[in-house]
Structure 1
Amino acid sequence: MAGAGEAIGLIETKGLVCHLVATDAMCKAADIEVLEQVSIGGGFVTTLIKGDVGSVRAAVDAGAQTASQSGELVSAHIIPRPEPAIIGLFVK
């Protein structure tokens, strides 16, 4: 789970290829951990990552830019110091 100095980041894309290249860019941009990938249907996929706030910010920025260039970025968001229950919604 995320600790006091950590954050979670979420990127939602439309399309598998866009999702894969965005996730790859996030992993290469910073020291983060991919927690979960959720497919909600219709080609929409959300990736949840965690790490320190700076790393998550850098990773989400890189992933969002890559997704915008390679497909369709739906949303990108960072939550610093998330409540553990939020992460529990995604990671079982």
Structure 2
Amino acid sequence: MPDAVGVVQTIGFPGVLAAADAMVKGAEVTLVTYAGAESGQYFVAIRGSISEVEQAMAAGLDAVENQAVGASVLNHYIVANPPENIVSVLPLEYTEADEPFR
């Protein structure tokens, strides 16, 4: 079964940084991608087992809402069992740079 994917989208860079930090510290997940968009929106995506992704997402959302001043969560979502075609099209695949952290 493929690893689950969790995504958090925030307004403001401090929010996405707080989410990413809390997620990788809060559970055994790998940060696989991060990107910025217009209007100060950012997102970060993690992968791991569904139980670890759920735990990491809870930690990340809590960090944005309670620790990152001026930041807010726009959206968040967990894909428990992503099909291979999504992983091959979107930037969610593990890369060589990710391997030391898995």
TM-score by length of 2: 0.80
Which residue number in structure 1 is paired with residue 21 of structure 2? 24
The 1:46/1:80 distance shift into structure 2, 3 A limit, reads same
8 Å CA contact 1:36–1:91 kept in 2: the answer is yes
CA shift for structure 1 position 5: 5.4
Whether 1:85 and 2:85 are equivalent positions in the alignment is yes
Q: Are 2:61 and 1:64 equivalent residues in the alignment?
A: yes
Q: Say which SS state the counterpart of residue 10 (structure 1) adopts.
A: strand
TM-score between the two structures when normalised by the length of structure 1: 0.88
In structure 2, stretches of 5+ residues that fail to align are 94-102
Aligned-pair identity (%): 25
Which segments of structure 1 move beyond 4 Å, counting only runs of 4 or more? none
Query: What stretches of structure 1 of length at least 5 have no aligned partner?
Result: none
Alignment partner of 1:85: what SS? helix
Residue type of the alignment partner of 2:34: Q
> How far off is 1:18 after superposition?
1.1
1:65 to partner: Cα distance: 1.2
- Residue 74 in 1 paired to residue 74 in 2? yes
Count, aligned residues: 89
Give the letter aligned to residue 15 of structure 1.
Answer: G
- From the CA coordinates, give the structure whose radius of gyration is larger: 2
Higher strand share: 1
CA distance in 1, matches of 2:2, 2:12: 32
